[in-house]
Amino acid sequence: MSKSGSILKVAFRALSRNKLRSLLTALGIIIGVACVIATIGIGEGARLQTENQLKSLGTNFLMIFPGAVTSSGARTGGSNSKLSGDDVEAIRHEVGSVAYVSASIRTVAQVIYGNQNWSTSIQGGEVDWPLIRSWNVATGQFFTDQDNRTASKVCVLGQTVATNLFGSEDPVGRTLRIKNIPFRVVGVLESKGGSMMGQDQDDIVIAPYETVRKKLMGTTAVGSILASAASNEQVDSAQEEIAALLRQRHKIGRGQDDDFMMRSQTEMLAQAAAQSRTMSTLLWSIAGVSLLVGGIGIMNIMLVSVTERTREIGVRMAIGAKGGDIRAQFLVEAVALSLAGGSFGIGLGIGIQRFVAKVAGWPVALEPTAIGLAFAFSAVVGITFGFYPALKASRLDPIEALRYE
């Protein structure tokens, strides 16, 4: 048998001699690696879900809100500034980097059909609204620009509202009531799913902006303006052009704060990515501490093993084993313990991921990179924390070792 084979055989024989102790020693590594796999998988799944939800807002999405006035030196949202329909038309005709724009207004109301009723969000928008939101109509059609100009009483339903009011019945062409005003359903939107705040995006009714503004809310103000840049590369220039135009229209002087707030899809994705990186760093830190504790446990047990096997080490040296052979022997045992713990930890971490996904309904993503890093890190822990006990064993004096009782 080769020297390497002999070292491996003796290592596994020594570990199997105290199975329970070996298992308890590897437990720290198992828990640490399981933490790495589970937490990184859950964190990555949450990141991907957030990105998908932000992308579901639309293509090159921009939102402009009224407010952001200075109050006692602090920037706050407020209603001292109001966006207008003229602002919407100015953006539509004067900002070349914007492909679509729509005034937007929102309220909440009870929607009634027959003996069914449902409280939902009523969204007023213009014909560009579904293009900005990248939200297609599943059945029927979206309302027209003529419907908006004439404040027609028509609407398009989200899937949640359609299901709760109509069940399996086709809503298109039916008449429902919003605040006791009859509206004809002209279409049903495709399912969009939950938002990044956990809200059901399909729980919505879309009606012409002028209809909602005049007949449901009785206001002259625009709630917000939704826009879509012509391309992803033009998002920044669209923001700059819109800001310059609104500052000019609202007569905001140099050095004065904007009386509106603007958010882009790119900014929201960047914020989500930054939050994800912070969370990942925290999770890796927690898992790192667990692996460190596991490594200390391995070092402790290996030092105990060196003490217990002092006479065995003396005998092996007396019959020709060199210091390097003894060092390799104990190092292999430490790495074997660590890798075994890492393997069990990977399986446990994957199991935790699947359990969380099934029971809690949280999104998870199995990252091969995380699995590889966790396994490699467990090997590094074994080498790092097993080196000192192995070195101590290799430096024992053979004569003193043989005398050890």
How many domains does the chain fold into? 2
Q: Is residue 185 a contact partner of residue 113, using CB atoms and an 8 Å limit?
A: no
Q: Which residues of the chain have pLDDT under 50?
A: 1, 69-79
391/136 Cα distance (integer angstroms)? 68
Tokens linked to 109: 């109301």
CA 311 distance to own-chain centroid: 56
Tell whether 257 is covered by a domain: no
Look at residue 286 in the predicted model and tell me its pLDDT. Answer: 75
Residues 207 and 296 in one domain: no
Q: What is the mean pLDDT of the chain?
A: 81
CA 120 distance to own-chain centroid: 27
Residues 191 and 309 in one domain: no
Q: What are phi and psi of 221, to 5 degrees?
A: -85, 150
pTM: 0.61
Tokens linked to 369: 């990179």
178/20 Cα distance (integer angstroms)? 69
Residues 331 and 370 in one domain: yes
Of the candidates 214, 225, 309, which has an alpha carbon nearest to the alpha carbon of residue 260?
225
Residues 129 and 211 in one domain: yes
Look at residue 25 in the predicted model and tell me its pLDDT. Answer: 76
388/375 Cα distance (integer angstroms)? 21
Find the domain containing 220 and state its range: 82-249
Residues 223 and 139 in one domain: yes
Look at residue 140 in the predicted model and tell me its pLDDT. Answer: 94
pLDDT tens sequence across 68-118? 544 444 444 444 557 888 899 999 999 988 999 999 999 999 999 988 999
Q: Is residue 207 a contact partner of residue 106, using CB atoms and an 8 Å limit?
A: no
131/110 Cα distance (integer angstroms)? 27
Look at residue 67 in the predicted model and tell me its pLDDT. Answer: 74
Residues 222 and 186 in one domain: yes
Look at residue 111 in the predicted model and tell me its pLDDT. Answer: 95
Of the candidates 39, 50, 51, which has an alpha carbon nearest to the alpha carbon of residue 373?
39
Look at residue 75 in the predicted model and tell me its pLDDT. Answer: 45
Q: Is residue 67 a contact partner of residue 80, using CB atoms and an 8 Å limit?
A: yes
Domain termination residue (choose one: 197, 216, 249): 249
Tell whether 69 is covered by a domain: no
